[in-house]
Chain A
């Protein structure tokens, strides 16, 4: 295989993800409605109850909506990452996984292509959300919309890798509900997406430490700082390390025999 053939394979994986995404308009809609509900309804209710002190990267008092916007961007990435896990399980159940496995291109390359494709689709949704959030009054610096891009890509890769790793563990489509309960919700709620960690520490020390060990917390902080044209080095290092780890785990746990278990059913 030549480099150009690798590129064609990458292109094929990305295009398929886009085609499937376009087919599923409701997916795009729900990806936007979910964070917008949090931003418009949830944040409006909590604004009065929660005071957000001046904490980096913010240089002044901010509204609660402004505080949770980076967390909601990551929420979109989180759901998309888990959606990738769902689509892998679906492909396995429908048999179309075999098309991927029969490719002469190395499977590790195909998985990385898939990860990048998931990241690209997630980014579209995040920017659509940021656009609507802007209209709703959440106005980070315009330049921040550009500086946040690498952070968003890295976080999308991290959450996509976690999704792909999980897909190797999920045997049936029905088990995806478990992912919601045991992965998405704990990851999101036990992070700094909705409340600053110092606030969490005030109410519970052990909850604070769980949040600290949650990679999603650092992903949110990376995005938060990048949106304000700053780099949180600790968050960057942890997110980068976790992305590498989960990408490797996803590649290593991608077992064709498990991914095509329906093959010998009849003949």
Chain B
């Protein structure tokens, strides 16, 4: 199992006067499917932008395996795979070309990229679409390509920001199942950000984020037991209505 840890310590971020994240402290459970649950506007994407170093940290600290990501940013980026909410695929290029570009940017040789791409796409059921233009793929398949791409450089942590957004129910479930399998089989630490409760299981470690604040952090079932809520849905609804932390 992976021992990779990712931890945020008192992270705050503002856009001018608007506070997007307010003193957020969380620690991902290594080798597990960590769910980051929050409604739209909760601050999930800002959190992702900070984790991926697209945004400069204004306040607080992000620790990767105990070390600040600012100290060894390149090492951190090389061990992290990301699927963003907005698709980042080049629609006019083929699936393989998209993967080749990403792999090359991570310093992989063409041969290594092609071998890994075949392997990941086989696993994701897209082996026969290698030469197809991304534009010709449906939303679910594009998401799978993005996951394959995020795995290409063999990261130890995988971040997915609303990876199932805009997909039909069947595709959403398939993507969610595939990532859970990945987490189980490869011991990857996963952070799955979503606003959809049905994508989170009671046994998952759950972080509930609302208006930039962490309202709950713990195993889903245990959180319900502690707070007396009958389900994660009730807990989520109550917390996001009141805005009062449960922990």
Contacts and interface: CB of A to CB of B under 8 A. Distances in A.
A102 interface: yes
A95 to B, nearest CB: 4
Contacts of A257: 54-56
Interface string B19-59: 01000000000000000001011111111110011111000
A12 B54 contact: no
Contacts of A256: 53-56
Interface in A1-27: 1-2, 4-6, 8-9, 11-13, 15-16, 19-20, 23
Contact of B77 (A11, A94, A104): A104
Which among B75, B91, B105, B161 has the highest number of chain A CB atoms within 10 Å? Answer: B105
Nearest to A260: B54
A263 interface: yes
A103 B106 contact: yes
Given A9-B105, A96-B88, A103-B77, A16 B48 contact: no
A256 B53 CA distance: 8
Judged by DSSP, the binding face of A is helix
A8 to B, nearest CB: 5
Given A104-B74, A264-B46, A267-B41, A8 B107 contact: yes
A100 interface: yes
Contacts of B55: 256-257, 260, 263
A101 interface: yes
Contact of A96 (B53, B73, B89): B89
B152 to A, nearest CB: 11
Interface in B1-32: 15, 20
B193 A98 contact: no
A262 B46 CA distance: 10
A49 interface: no
Interface residues of B, number: 51
Given A267-B43, A267-B48, A99 B54 contact: no
Contacts, number: 135
Contact of A15 (B20, B45, B91, B100): B100
A112 B66 CA distance: 33
Contact of B75 (A98, A104, A266): A104
A264 B45 contact: yes
Interface string B154-169: 0000000110000000
A144 to B, nearest CB: 36
B86 A95 contact: yes
A110 interface: yes
A135 interface: no
A106 B78 CA distance: 12
Interface string A240-267: 0000000000000000110010111111
Interface string A17-50: 0011001000000000000000000000000000
A110 B105 contact: yes
A48 B184 CA distance: 79
B15 A264 contact: yes
Contact of A95 (B38, B74, B87, B108): B87
Contacts of A8: 104, 107-110
A213 to B, nearest CB: 37
A4 B119 CA distance: 24
B92 interface: yes
A105 interface: yes
A63 B217 CA distance: 78
Interface string B79-98: 01010111111111100010
B103 interface: yes
A105 B105 contact: yes
User: 10 tightest A-B contacts by CB?
Assistant: A12-B104, A5-B107, A267-B44, A267-B45, A103-B105, A104-B78, A104-B74, A104-B77, A263-B49, A95-B86
Interface of B: 15, 20, 38, 40-49, 52-56, 73-75, 77-78, 80, 82, 84-93, 97, 100-110, 161-162, 193, 195
Interface of A: 1-2, 4-6, 8-9, 11-13, 15-16, 19-20, 23, 94-106, 110, 256-257, 260, 262-267
23 contacts: A1-B78, A8-B110, A12-B101, A13-B104, A15-B100, A15-B104, A19-B97, A96-B90, A100-B105, A101-B52, A101-B54, A102-B54, A102-B82, A103-B106, A104-B74, A104-B75, A104-B106, A257-B56, A260-B54, A265-B45, A266-B40, A267-B43, A267-B48
